Amino acid sequence: MKFVAVTACPTGIAHTYMAAENLEKTAKVLGHVIKVETQGAMGIENEITPADIEGADAFILASDIAIEQIERFSGLPKIEVPVQLALKDPKSIFKKKPC
């Protein structure tokens, strides 16, 4: 499957980036394709474009805060989890049913 994802956490210093790293690592292991955008202390990085969304099957939102430009993903099935889950048990995220 093809995923797009956004990670964000309260201070945007650690968990945002760790979650992104874990999602990428796990997707690879499970044989998925993923692009993860981080919304942390450095602002938006690795920004997900309309073309990325066009080609994606589902959207993963791993965040504890309201993210910017969420409307971009309104057309995609969504898996929404706390950012911590991406650290605790990233595999389970990919098993969830998008809605």
Partner 1 sequence: MSVQTITFEYEFVCPLPNGLHARPANCFEQVIVNFASDISVVNLNSNKKANGKSVLSLIGADIKKGDKCLVRIQGNDAKPAYDAIVEFIEHRMPDCDAALPEVVYGTNEVVLPPILEDAGVDVISGSPVVPGIGRGKAVFFEGLKLPESLDTGDFVDANEELNEVERAVSEFNSDIAANLSSGKATVIEREILDTHLSIANDVELLNEIRYLISEKGVSAGEAIVSAVEHFSKVLKMAKSKLVQERVLDLQDVYSQILKKIYHGKIDDSVKLESHSVCIAGNLTPSQFMSLDKEKLKGMVLSRAGNTSHTVILARSFGIPTLTGVGEVCLNIESGKEVIVDADLGIIVTEINEKVERYYALENRKQKAIAQKYAAFKEKPAITKDGSSIEVMANVATADEVKIAIANGAQGIGLFRTEILFMDRKEAPSEDEQFEEYRKAAENAKGNQVVIRTFDIGGDKPIGYLNLPKEENPFLGYRAVRIYREYENLFKDQLRAILRASVYGNLKLMIPMISCVEEVLWVKEKVKQVKEELDSESISYNSDIKLGIMVEVPAIAFIIPRVSKEVDFFSIGTNDLTQYLLAADRGNEKVKFLYNSNHPALLLLIKKIVDDARANGTWVGMCGEMAGKAENLPILLGLGLDEISMASPFIAGIKAECAGLDRALCEELVAKVLNCASVGQVEAVVAEQSHKDFPAVIEAGLVDLHVDCTDKAEIIKYTSDILCINGRTNYPLEIERDFWKREAAYSTGLGHGFAVPHCKSKRVKCHSICVFRLNKPIEWNAIDKKPVDVIIAMVIKDGENAGNSHMRIFSRLAKKILHEKFRNKLRALLSEREVVSFLYDQLGLTDI
Residues that bind partner 1 (CB under 8 A): 10-11, 13-18, 20-22, 25, 38, 40-43, 64, 84, 87-88
CA angle 85, 73, 80 (to 5 degrees): 20
Q: Is 99 a catalytic residue?
A: no
Residue linked to tokens 């309201």: 66
Cβ at position 77, least distance to partner 1 in Å: 27
| Cβ-based nearer residue to partner 1, 66 or 99 | 66
Starting at the edge strand found earlier in the chain, the sheet holding 58-63 runs 43-45, 33-40, 2-8, 58-63, 78-81
Cβ at position 93, least distance to partner 1 in Å: 14
Q: Of 5, 6, 8, 9, which is the active-site residue?
A: 9
Cβ at position 76, least distance to partner 1 in Å: 25
Q: Which two tokens stand for residue 68?
A: 């910017």
Catalytic residue annotation = 9
